[in-house]
Structures are given as structure tokens and as C-alpha cells.
Chains A and B, each alone.
Chain A
Amino acid sequence: MNLRRYVVLRLLQLVPVTLVVIIINFLLVHLAPGDVSIILAGDTADPAYLAAIRERYGLDRPFLEQLWRYLVQVGSGDLGLSFRSREPVFAEIMSRVPATLLLVGTSLGLSVIIGTVIGTWIARRPGSTTDSVVSALAVGLFSVPVFWLGLMLVLFFAVQLQMFPAMGMSSVDGPREGPGRILDILHHMVLPVLALMTVSVGQYVRLARSAVAEVMGESYITTVRAIGFPDRTIMMHYALRNALLPVVTVLGLQLGLVLTGAVLTETVFSWPGLGRLIYDAILARDTPVIMGAFIAMSVTVAFASLITDLVYAFLDPRVTL
């Protein structure tokens, strides 16, 4: 099938997805007690001001009208203004996206690489003591609450060893641009990435292990063994490549889950990411930001799954798009 047509079709599917996401969230926020007017006006505010805020933000209109107005607005590519900071939601989200992408992307990338390497390594001898221990450890790792792990890392690396900072993405005194800034951010990234990576790496260890072990039992591996390829070549060149397929699939599906882990990690390390933005927005009933962020995240996940499918098709010639 024509690649461009496929991509366009898949992107078109984003429309109903966005629609459902909007409706679900709009409904939830609308049904919930409390709205932004109380947050902004404070608890002793004059009723007139509460009414004025509701009017200014269109909260005084019937639900369906609010929804319709919002849909029309989003349809025209405008996510609106934040109820709190009164700045464009799109800009607010974009100011947080790099931080989240950096954190999630790096830890996910490292998890996949390290997890696959370890998983492949233990798959050489399935059933061995090493395999049992490492597999159990992998399960243990993704059973650790990330906030607990985060604090432990802080106490050890930031307080005890004074090696890495534990708050934010850059230092107050740090350089604002150039390579110094990059190094500063890298330095701040170490602990949050380590925390997030630790809890997600186990998944890929298990996945790679079973995938490689399964591939190693395939006939074509027997063929290359018979041809005389050394074990390491077979493992790295043949088994790994075939075993990557399920890893790639899960990677796409898991992005949402990792974004999730990010809100807890972002909280522990005061990371200025999307997760915290949503959390703050929810507590402040900042509907435009909540909606915008949910849309952004769903679209990101959808894109990730599209890219996953493309990569899968590239890796596995049997798959046609």
C-alpha cells in the first residue's frame, strides 16, 4: 500500500480520537464540583466577581454550547488561553514538551537499549540461575514505586555523595545558553532519568528475553548454526534483529504508560514537564490547559504508535502497511 496514503489515513484517525478525548474530559471537568472561578477569586470573593469570571471564561453558558464553542475553537487550531496565566495554551504546553520529551525519551531509549541487551544476554541460557535471578529482578524493578525509588536516589546521590542535583532541570546559577547549558541540563537529568529508567527497564529485559529465547528456538537459527556462524554473531545479528520486533511493538504501546510514570518522577525531581502542568491544571480547574494537554498527549501517543508501525514494517518485510 502506498506509504503516504497510509500515513494520511492514520493521521485522519486522529480526528475521532481527539473528539472522544475532548468529550470525555470536558464532561469530567464539567461534572466535577468546583470551578476555576473559586480558585481565582479566593474563598471570600464577591459573588459578582465569581460571576464575572464565569462570564469572561464562558463558564456561565450551557454545557453543550461550551463544548461546541470549544470544538469549533480547536477545529480552527486554537487551544485557547489558560484560565490562570492568561497565556496561549499551545505556548504553555510547548514550553513543557521539551522537558518531558527529554526525560521520557532518554529514559525510554536507555531502557530499551539496556533492557534488550540484558534480556538478550540472559536469553542465551534460559532456565539458568543467572536467568532466573535477573528475570525475577526485572520483575522486582517494575514493581518499585517510582516516587520511593526517586527519594532513595536523591538521598544517596544528591545528599550522601553530592554528585547530582535533585531539583529542576537547570541550576539557578547555570549558564543560560551554549554547551554549558547542555551540560547543566545533562547533569540535572541523571537522577530523574535513572529513576524512570529503572522502573521501566525490567519490562524490556523480560520482553527481550522471551523474544530472543523464542527466536533462538526457530528453525532459521538452527540453519545459521549449521552454517557455522559463531554464537555471538547469531545472537547479535540474527536473533536480536528478529527479537526486536515485539520490543518495538510494546515500545509504541508503552509510551502512554511512561508518560504516566513521568508525572510522579516530575514531582519528585521538580522536573518542569507536561505531567506537572496537567497536575497543576487539574487542581486549578484550568480547563483549557487540561484539555490541551490531554489532546497533546493523546496525539503524541498516536504518533508514537504510527511510527512504531512504520518501524515495524521496516524491520519485518512480511508486514505490509
Chain B
Amino acid sequence: MVPALLALSRRAAFLISAAIVVVTVIVAVTAPWLPLPDPNGMEAAPYEPPGPGHWLGTDNYGRDVLSRLAWGAQLALIVALVSSAIASMIGVILGSISGYFGGTVDALLSRTIDVFLLIPSFFLVLLIVALFGSRLEFTMLAIALTTWPRSARIMRAQVLSLKSRVYVQAARAAGASHSRTLVRHIIPNGLAPIITDATILMGLAVLTEAGLSFLGLGDQNAVSWGRMIFDGQRQLRIAPWMSIFPGIALLLLVASFNLLGDGLNEALNPQLRRLVARATPKPTMPVGEARPATPGPILDVSNLRMSYRLDSGPIMAVDGVSFRLQQGESLGVVGESGCGKSSLGAAILQVMAPNATTVAGDVDLSGVPILRDGRRVVSHDREMIADLRWTMAAMIFQSAMNALNPVIPVGAQLTEAYRLHRPDASHEEALARAGAVFDLIGVPRERLGSYPHELSGGMRQRVMIALSLLHEPKLVIADEPTTALDVLIQDQILGELDALKHQMGLSLILISHDMGAVAESCERVAVMYAGEIVEMAPTETIFCSPQHPYTRALLAALPTVSGPRRVPVGLPGEPFSVGETTPGCRFAPRCSVAQDLCRSSRPPRVAIGAGHEALCHFPAGGGA
């Protein structure tokens, strides 16, 4: 309900602006047939205020303002459409030629585009209109001639990215001519942003026409809103309605064009749409005194549930996960992508995406309650987790390229993080500490001044690890720390991580899709499927006697001996989408041994041996 309302309000602006444009179009098209007086007729008394005879009053010549407004809509739309159409057309043609052929053609056209972008367009319009007469045709042409470089630039970029696409290459290979390839395959696919920009151009054109009218260069025969405003301003004291109504109309139409452009842009650009969704976090839960850390499990997670808010509705990415991790222990969390394993890591440290929220569950970190029933625990207005982040529990994120700030040298990122939790530390101390962790993980100290993009992938990942070790945390959550690295480096880094774990007595949660990686460095393994832990057991047990059919499938997909590790393939069927609901086992549709029971009722959590449990009706392949 609430998300639906929010989604609606998000679209409200788009819908309202679309409605305004549609109404304007209708009014403009039907103006000749509407029961309105002649917009140029001077039959009525001048300066008549809005009333039953003339809803919006009359102007200084006794012309009906409402009627002029309606006819003005026609003009505004003509100006908007014609000038943006011409501009887009020139832009599309020159932009695609420039992008498609490249080389000298591109160099020449790009230069031309650049030059035109440098000429202040309004002055060129002014020059053309002032010199050749204030006729509407000239105005529109002038606007188009000065705005086309915008479209040309956009189109060029589109074509550059499109021409290497497979289907374009295929068309060329099949013998299509250049022009045919351009017209049939490239331009239609690159038009979307041009259309978006054209709506913005339309608003610009209407404003430009109004500006020209203000400078006395508007078309005298045209009923234009700009002219109405300008003429009306002089009569402001006797007939304010003369300028107010066209002013409102102009404002609404231009704003609608702009909002429409925004909306289209958002619709065409999913990255922007994603930003709009945002979950409402649950209220925090205040407690009295913070309890000091007690010995016991370093991490205690119980029935943790986390959901994402998406346009299509909420989905439960972590659905009732419970486990404990002892001091110095290491746990591997494996599963296919989308199973919720990364979300689990983010939920433990409470660093979820903006559209995610923990809806239930308790988390205790080193005996300190940080989450109760999905609500963050607060003591003295301070979230418990805030004091524990990075000092008690740190995280190694996947793809250090993105996880490190690209515009700050890595050393500074480390020292800032160090001094955040040690406000008394001097810069030198922070630097010394950063150097020390660099030493620890084998990054040369001189790289402290480097930016992330100046480091190799492996080096970056080591920096990320160094960052996590800065405050000697007890728990490190490593989320796919070696993805996207080549195999040799992967092994190196995993090895180093393992060594550090022993050296520093770390507890480690290693999140990975790679059974092999987990096997080497973890004592226990939890297999996740569709938000749930379907099987958890000591590493040896998982590998020697996997109970859950999914675990078995994962292991079967693992290459033997020293073959390259790959993402598990060969599993039949699509992974269960966490948005779906089923009365039975979530794995049932893909399970080779599923029976009717599996499809109709939720499987129980079965304890199989010491520290070994599985979520299955028929553990070990229907051994019942």
C-alpha cells in the first residue's frame, strides 16, 4: 500500500505534466472549433475583467484572453515541435554520420559541433531574427539552427556505442550498405535519448520565443503567449489578467516539457529509477545501558529477515537466517548469485542498500545486541552498531575498484578511517598504522599515495583487506573478496587471508559462490538458496556427505582435481526468484528428487549430526 502510493507520487509529476501537454495539444488542435470568439476580434469592451462573458477577461483591444490563450497554445506547440524536430533531425543526421564513419569525417563534424556549442545560441537567434525580420518561420529556424549540436552530440555518442553491437556487426557482415545499416539498425535504436532531449528542447524553444517577444522581436501576426505576457506587463496596473494567465500557461507548459523529459529519461535509464526506491527503516529500539562485550559467540544471528523494496513490490532477500560464529571460527556462505548471501553480510553490519531494510531478527555482535526484531538497538541516542563497525567487525567488499573511492588516494582513505575511530591519533600515527597494515598484506608502502585506478586488481583488493584490518577487528566479513581477479591472484589472496586469520585470531565470514574457495579457508559452510540457509555443516561434512539436493548439485558442478573453478553450471532450471511464493520447498522446481510433499509443504530444518543441519523433507536424496 505505502510503496504503491509512493510509486504513484513519484509518477504524479510525470502524469500531471503529460496531462498538461495532452490538454495543450487538444486545445491547440481544436482551437478553431471551440466556441471561442475570434482571438483577433476587437468586438468586446477593452479591459473587461474575468467574468461570465469572458472567463479570463479581455485585453486592451477588447480581445478575448481565453481565446487568445487557446490559439497561443497552437503557436507554442508549433514553435516547440517544429524547432525541436528540425534540430533533432539535423542532430541525428550529422551525429550518426560522425559517429558511424569516424575518422576524418568524425573529426571534422565533431569540431563543427564544438564550434556551434561555443556560440551563445540566443544571440545567434537574436541576430537572425533581428536581421531578417521577426517572422515565426525565422524564429523557429533560428532556434533549430542553434540547438542542433546538442542532439548531434547525443546521437554521436549513441552511435559510437551501438555500432559495435552484435546485431549491427551481423547486418554489416550480411552485406547491408552503410546507409542501410545506419537507417535500419543504428538510428532507430539510438533515438531514445534524442526524444528525451527533444522534450527539453521544446521547453527551451517556447522560452526562447517568449524572450524574443520581450525584446520586441516576436511575430506580429502570431498570437503568442510570450507576446501576451510582454504586452500585458504594460497593462499590469489596469488589467493584470492580461499577463498573468499567459504567464501561468507558459510556465506550466515549459515545466511540463521539462518534467516529461525527466520522466522519460528515468524510464529509459533504469539506473536512475533504482535510486528512487527507498525503504522506510524500522524504528530503532532504545535500551538502557549498553552491555559490555562478553565472551561467548562473536556473532549470534537469529531468524534474520531482510527485504528489498522494488517497483514490483517487496522481496525477501534474507528469509529467516540463524547461525552462530565462535571466536576465531570461520564460516563460508555459498550459493548462486541472487541467493541473498551478500545481503546477509550487509544486514549483519547494517549497511544495506537504501531500498533494503531488516524486517525481523536479532543480531548480537560479541555479546552486544545490535538488532532486535529487525530494529537497530540504540543506547543513549547512539546506535550500538555504530561503535562496533570496523573496530569489532569489518568488511571486505567485492570488487575493490568500486569499493574504494576513486578520487581519494588509498592512503588517505586508510588514515581517514583510522582517525575516525581514534580521534586523538595524529596524522603521523594514522599514516604509520596504514603503513603497518600495508606491510601485513604485502602492499608496498609507496602505494599509499596512489589512487585506486593506478593499482592492479590484486593490489586494490589487498588495499581493501588492509583497510578492513585497520582497527584489528575480531570479525571480518569478506564478500566475494576475489571475484574478478585472475586465478593465480585469487589463490594468493585467499592464502594470505587464511594466514592473517590464524595470525590475528580473526573470525571470518567468507561469502562466495565458489565452493572451492570456501573449502580451503573455512571450517564451516552454510549453503544459501533463495534467502534461506538450506544446509550448514563443517566443511568436511559438506563435502563428504552433503544432505541437501542443492548442495549436492553445487558440488557436482565443481570441477574435479585442479581444473579451473567456475560458477556452478549445469543446474537445471531457473534459480528460485526470491519474490515468488510457494507453499512448498523453494528448491523443489529444480530438484531432481522432489516429490509431491516437496511442492506442497515447507520442509523442516533437520538436524543430521553435530553441527550439521539441512532444510529438506528428504535429506540425502529421500533417504526416508
Q: Which residues from chain A sit less than 8 Å from chain B, CB to CB?
A: 16-17, 20-21, 24-25, 28-29, 31-34, 125-129, 132, 135-136, 139-140, 142-148, 151, 155, 206, 210, 213-214, 216-220, 222-229, 238, 241-242, 253, 256-257, 259-261, 263-264, 267, 275, 278-279, 282-283, 290, 294, 297-298, 301-302, 305, 315-318
| Bound complex: CA A305 to CA B115 (Å) | 12
Could you say which residues of chain B place their CB within 8 Å of the CB of A125? 278
Which residue of the partner chain, among B131, B351, B390, contacts A32 with CB atoms under 8 Å?
B131
- Whole-angstrom distance from the CB of A264 to the nearest CB of chain B? 5
Which one of B13, B275, B389, B451 has the highest number of Cβ atoms from chain A below 10 Å of its Cβ?
B275
Between-chain CB contacts (< 8 Å), 19 pairs: A21-B115, A31-B132, A33-B131, A151-B233, A151-B236, A216-B354, A218-B402, A220-B402, A220-B404, A222-B346, A223-B403, A227-B389, A227-B420, A260-B121, A278-B123, A294-B119, A301-B120, A318-B406, A318-B453
| Bound complex: CA A264 to CA B277 (Å) | 40
Taking a contact as CB atoms under 8 Å apart, the answer to whether A214 and B230 are in contact is: no
Look across to chain A and name the residue whose beta carbon is closest to the beta carbon of B230: A147
Which residue of the partner chain, among B118, B127, B214, B406, contacts A302 with CB atoms under 8 Å?
B118
| Bound complex: CA A139 to CA B203 (Å) | 11
Taking a contact as CB atoms under 8 Å apart, the answer to whether B215 and A256 are in contact is: no
**Which B residues from 288 to 336 make CB contacts under 8 A with A?**
none
| Bound complex: CA A294 to CA B127 (Å) | 11
Taking a contact as CB atoms under 8 Å apart, the answer to whether B276 and A126 are in contact is: yes
| Bound complex: CA A317 to CA B130 (Å) | 46
| Bound complex: CA A223 to CA B461 (Å) | 13
Would A228 and B127 be within 8 Å (CB), given that A139-B259, A242-B405 are in contact? no
- Whole-angstrom distance from the CB of A129 to the nearest CB of chain B? 7
Could you say which residues of chain B place their CB within 8 Å of the CB of A316? 406-407
Which residue of the partner chain, among B128, B211, B402, contacts A264 with CB atoms under 8 Å?
B211
Could you say which residues of chain B place their CB within 8 Å of the CB of A315? 407
Taking a contact as CB atoms under 8 Å apart, the answer to whether A143 and B118 are in contact is: no
- Whole-angstrom distance from the CB of A244 to the nearest CB of chain B? 10
Taking a contact as CB atoms under 8 Å apart, the answer to whether B13 and A136 are in contact is: yes
Taking a contact as CB atoms under 8 Å apart, the answer to whether A143 and B258 are in contact is: yes
Q: Which of B39-47, B91-99, B248-256 contacts A (4 or more CB under 8 A)?
A: B248-256
**Which B residues from 314 to 369 make CB contacts under 8 A with A?**
346, 349, 351, 353-354
- Chain B 5-18, CB within 8 Å of chain A: the 1/0 string? 01001101100000
- Whole-angstrom distance from the CB of A306 to the nearest CB of chain B? 11
Would A227 and B10 be within 8 Å (CB), given that A294-B119, A318-B406 are in contact? no
Could you say which residues of chain A place their CB within 8 Å of the CB of B576? none
- Chain B 399-430, CB within 8 Å of chain A: the 1/0 string? 10011111101000000010011000000000
Could you say which residues of chain B place their CB within 8 Å of the CB of A206? 262
Which one of A16, A146, A228 has the highest number of Cβ atoms from chain B below 10 Å of its Cβ?
A228
Could you say which residues of chain A place their CB within 8 Å of the CB of B111? 16
Look across to chain A and name the residue whose beta carbon is closest to the beta carbon of B120: A256
Could you say which residues of chain B place their CB within 8 Å of the CB of A218? 402
Would A32 and B132 be within 8 Å (CB), given that A139-B259, A219-B399, A263-B123 are in contact? yes
Would A217 and B275 be within 8 Å (CB), given that A25-B127, A127-B6 are in contact? yes
Interface residues on B, range: 35 or more
**Which B residues from 207 to 257 make CB contacts under 8 A with A?**
207, 210-211, 214-215, 226, 229-230, 233, 236, 243, 247, 250-251, 254-255
Could you say which residues of chain A place their CB within 8 Å of the CB of B124? 24
| Bound complex: CA A275 to CA B127 (Å) | 12
Taking a contact as CB atoms under 8 Å apart, the answer to whether B397 and A223 are in contact is: yes
Could you say which residues of chain A place their CB within 8 Å of the CB of B207? 143, 145
Could you say which residues of chain A place their CB within 8 Å of the CB of B203? 143
Could you say which residues of chain B place their CB within 8 Å of the CB of A217? 274-275, 353-354
In addition to A143-B250, A214-B272, 15 A-B residue pairs with Cβ atoms within 8 Å of each other are A126-B276, A132-B13, A139-B262, A140-B255, A144-B251, A145-B251, A151-B233, A155-B236, A214-B271, A220-B405, A225-B351, A226-B390, A228-B389, A301-B120, A315-B407
- Whole-angstrom distance from the CB of B449 to the nearest CB of chain A? 11
B122 in the interface (beta carbon within 8 A): yes
**Which B residues from 267 to 285 make CB contacts under 8 A with A?**
271-272, 274-278
| Bound complex: CA A33 to CA B564 (Å) | 78
Look across to chain A and name the residue whose beta carbon is closest to the beta carbon of B421: A228
Taking a contact as CB atoms under 8 Å apart, the answer to whether A222 and B127 are in contact is: no
Would A145 and B210 be within 8 Å (CB), given that A238-B405, A260-B123 are in contact? yes
- Whole-angstrom distance from the CB of A156 to the nearest CB of chain B? 13
Could you say which residues of chain A place their CB within 8 Å of the CB of B451? 317-318
Could you say which residues of chain A place their CB within 8 Å of the CB of B406? 220, 242, 316-318
| Bound complex: CA A274 to CA B190 (Å) | 39
Taking a contact as CB atoms under 8 Å apart, the answer to whether B126 and A282 are in contact is: yes
Could you say which residues of chain A place their CB within 8 Å of the CB of B417? 224, 227, 229
B500 in the interface (beta carbon within 8 A): no
B557 in the interface (beta carbon within 8 A): no
Going nearest first, the 6 A-B pairs with the smallest beta carbon separation are A32-B131, A260-B122, A228-B389, A143-B254, A219-B402, A143-B255
Could you say which residues of chain A place their CB within 8 Å of the CB of B126? 263, 278-279, 282
Could you say which residues of chain A place their CB within 8 Å of the CB of B255? 136, 139-140, 143
Which one of A136, A145, A275, A315 has the highest number of Cβ atoms from chain B below 10 Å of its Cβ?
A145
Which residue of the partner chain, among A24, A213, A226, A305, contacts B395 with CB atoms under 8 Å?
A226
